[in-house]
Amino acid sequence: MTISVGEQCPEFKLTAVDGKPFDKINIDNVFTTLTDKSFEGKWLVLFFYPKDFTFVCPTEIAAFGELNEDFQDRDAQVLAASTDSEFTHWAWRKHQEELRDLPFPMLADIKRELSTALGILDQNEGVSQRATFIIDPGGIVRFSMVTDLNVGRNPKEVLRVLDALQSDELCPCNWSKGDETIDLHQATAA
């Protein structure tokens, strides 16, 4: 069962390929260990994808990379994750042009512990489902979405939801940052 909104994000300690520019990364500084506490005080956008060296996954990862500064402007750290090893992540980054300068870490959940704890391990394929979580600075899951393994997600929608969560207001359908929110006092008076 997928972890529910309002629940604490599970603890984790995973090896990752660091999110440094390709020309500043080498075998001595490519890997890092990250935990659920590594970005304390920040929002986390944690997204899982099924496998490295596939077809849909790099389109999503690159799209999140293109929006990374927008997420950073909102004090949010993006983390990508799959059940592949850190070595596979590194090899893929080196050989997939649009991933070379990926600005955020790629977590290696090779023991499938985090995927299992989040309830997103696909039992038929043995890989993480295509899942996205927005976790607030207190470690509480505030948004989760899981799609079919064959269907890519929309990182702009994840950014829109982050904006809505950070507004701490009632946000109507299709609300975007800068739009009017719902004033509960006016809505009940009408």
Q: Over 60: is that where the pLDDT of 187 sits?
A: no
Q: Over 70: is that where the pLDDT of 188 sits?
A: no
Q: Which pLDDT score is estimated for 26?
A: 73
Q: Which two tokens mark 160?
A: 């829109």
What is the span of the domain harbouring residue 37?
Answer: 13-189
Q: Which of 127, 123, 136, 188 is nearest to 162 (CA)?
A: 136
Has residue 89 been placed in a domain? yes
Has residue 1 been placed in a domain? no
Is 167 in a helix, a strand, or coil?
A: helix
Has residue 168 been placed in a domain? yes
Crossing angle for the helix pair 57-66 and 155-167, to the nearest 10 degrees:
50
Q: How far is CA 89 from the centre of its chain?
A: 16
- Annotated catalytic sites, by residue? 57
Averaged pLDDT for residues 64-81: 97
Model pLDDT for residues 117-162, shown as the tens digit of each residue: 999 999 999 999 999 999 999 999 999 999 988 898 999 999 999 9
Mean pLDDT of the chain: 92
Q: Which two tokens mark 100?
A: 């070379």
CA 173 – CA 7 distance, rounded (Å): 24
Has residue 93 been placed in a domain? yes
**Number of domains present in the structure of the chain:** 1
* CB contact at 8 A, 132 and 145: yes
Has residue 7 been placed in a domain? no
* CB contact at 8 A, 12 and 36: yes
Has residue 104 been placed in a domain? yes
Alpha helix stretches (DSSP H) within the chain: 57-66, 68-73, 86-95, 113-118, 155-167, 184-189
Q: Which pLDDT score is estimated for 186?
A: 66
Has residue 6 been placed in a domain? no
Q: Residue 34 is part of a domain; what is its CATH number? A: 3.40.30.10
The structure's pTM equals 0.92
Q: Extract long-range pairs of 64-71: CB within 8 Å, 24+ residues apart.
A: 64/104, 64/155, 64/158, 65/98, 65/99, 65/101, 65/102, 65/103, 65/104, 66/155, 67/155, 67/156, 67/159, 68/103, 68/104, 69/103, 70/159, 71/45, 71/159, 71/162
First to last CA, the chain: 41
Has residue 32 been placed in a domain? yes
Nearest-Å Rg of the Cα atoms of the chain is 17
